[in-house]
Amino acid sequence: MESDRVSVVIVTFNNAPMLANLLVDLGHQRRLPDEVIVIDNASRDDTQALVRGVYPEADHVRLGENLGSAGGYYEGIRRAARSSDFIYTLDDDVRLNPDTLQQIVAGFHALEGAMPGQIAAVRSVGASHPQAAPTPLEVVPWRGTLFKTAIIREVGLPSPDYFLYGEDLEYSLRIAKRGYRFYWIPTSRCLEAVRERDGKARATLFGRRLVRYQSPFRLYYAFRNEVSIFIRYGRRAALLRTFLYALKILLMIGASEGWTGKRPIRALVLGVFDGIRGRMGRHPDYTPG
């Protein structure tokens, strides 16, 4: 384990204060990362100066334009895969315990020893994980996941074509299709920091609580990418649930916003149809502000 080369990949956009906290946590790890790559999606805040000041050893890569989470992780993982044994992916809004990295690497090796050749990635848990032993996962998101780099080289890089949301879902399904497995590691903690604004609206419809993204661009990519992925991988039940959820969100918007909700309604509907048609990439009408 001591000879493993572990790269950390963080994708960030206009979130310098939270990124600073995460970099401090990385600097306090008992098992320090061998490489930290910060992919900066053309942030307009002081991200570059912050990285240099807080973690000068980090490789800060400022992209010429915002390529979204999909483009950011594609670039970060591409760079990290050149020489690493493991790649630990993180969002910029998380906090780590001092032993987070040490424990997740140890957890991977313990599982690989028990199931050689089967484990592709393991994930750190949040604040309220109910299990004390490693448990299987169907898919893994970027937040707090340790990938074995050899498997990334075998499967290929994540797709940058999703722009925002879902690219980690597609990547997980692609890896799982090869017969590999994912697990939680309860001894490794990766905690989501609290944001004052999470960009979501909440309402009760027919006695049920619904949550949706407020921004039209987020609605567009979230529904487009899920529909596209579930069609691609033949996940019919999941696709049906997505269609039903889209209908509920449309009713929620109509009930709460009326005609003022026509922009998010258009974004959601177009996202569903573009997902069915397989129209991927960044849509010129739906980019982050």
Final residue in a domain of this structure, among 192, 210, 232: 192
- Helices then strands, counting H and E runs in the chain, come out as 9, 11
| Domain identity same for 18 and 53 | yes
Range of the domain at 232: 200-277
- For residue 1, is it within any domain? no
Q: What pLDDT does 128 receive?
A: 87
- For residue 216, is it within any domain? yes
- For residue 285, is it within any domain? no
- For residue 259, is it within any domain? yes
- CATH code of 77's domain: 3.90.550.60
pLDDT bucket at 208, cuts 50 / 70 / 90: low
| Domain identity same for 156 and 208 | no
Residues 180-190, mean pLDDT to the nearest whole number: 98
Residues 231-243, mean pLDDT to the nearest whole number: 97
Q: Work out the burial of residue 44: count CB atoms within 10 Å of its CB; fewer than 13 is exposed, 13-18 middle, 19 or more buried.
A: exposed
Q: Which helix (H) or strand (E) holds 17?
A: helix 16-27
| Domain identity same for 30 and 150 | yes
Residue-wise pLDDT tens digits, 253-274: 877 666 566 888 999 999 999 9
Instruction: Work out how many domains the chain is built from and give that number.
Output: 2
Per-residue pLDDT at 213 exceeds 80? no
- For residue 284, is it within any domain? no
Residue-wise pLDDT tens digits, 59-116: 999 999 999 999 999 999 999 999 999 999 999 999 999 999 999 999 999 999 999 9
| Domain identity same for 48 and 144 | yes
- Would you state the structure tokens that stand for residue 219, as one six-digit string? 């609605």
CB 80 within 8 A of CB 52: no
pLDDT bucket at 23, cuts 50 / 70 / 90: very high
CA 211 to chain centre: 19
Final residue in a domain of this structure, among 192, 209, 240: 192
The answer to whether the Cα torsion of 129, 134, 137, 142 is positive or negative is positive
| Domain identity same for 44 and 156 | yes
| Domain identity same for 188 and 260 | no
- For residue 130, is it within any domain? yes
| Domain identity same for 216 and 145 | no
Task: Please state the pTM of the whole predicted model.
Answer: 0.93
- For residue 141, is it within any domain? yes
- For residue 235, is it within any domain? yes
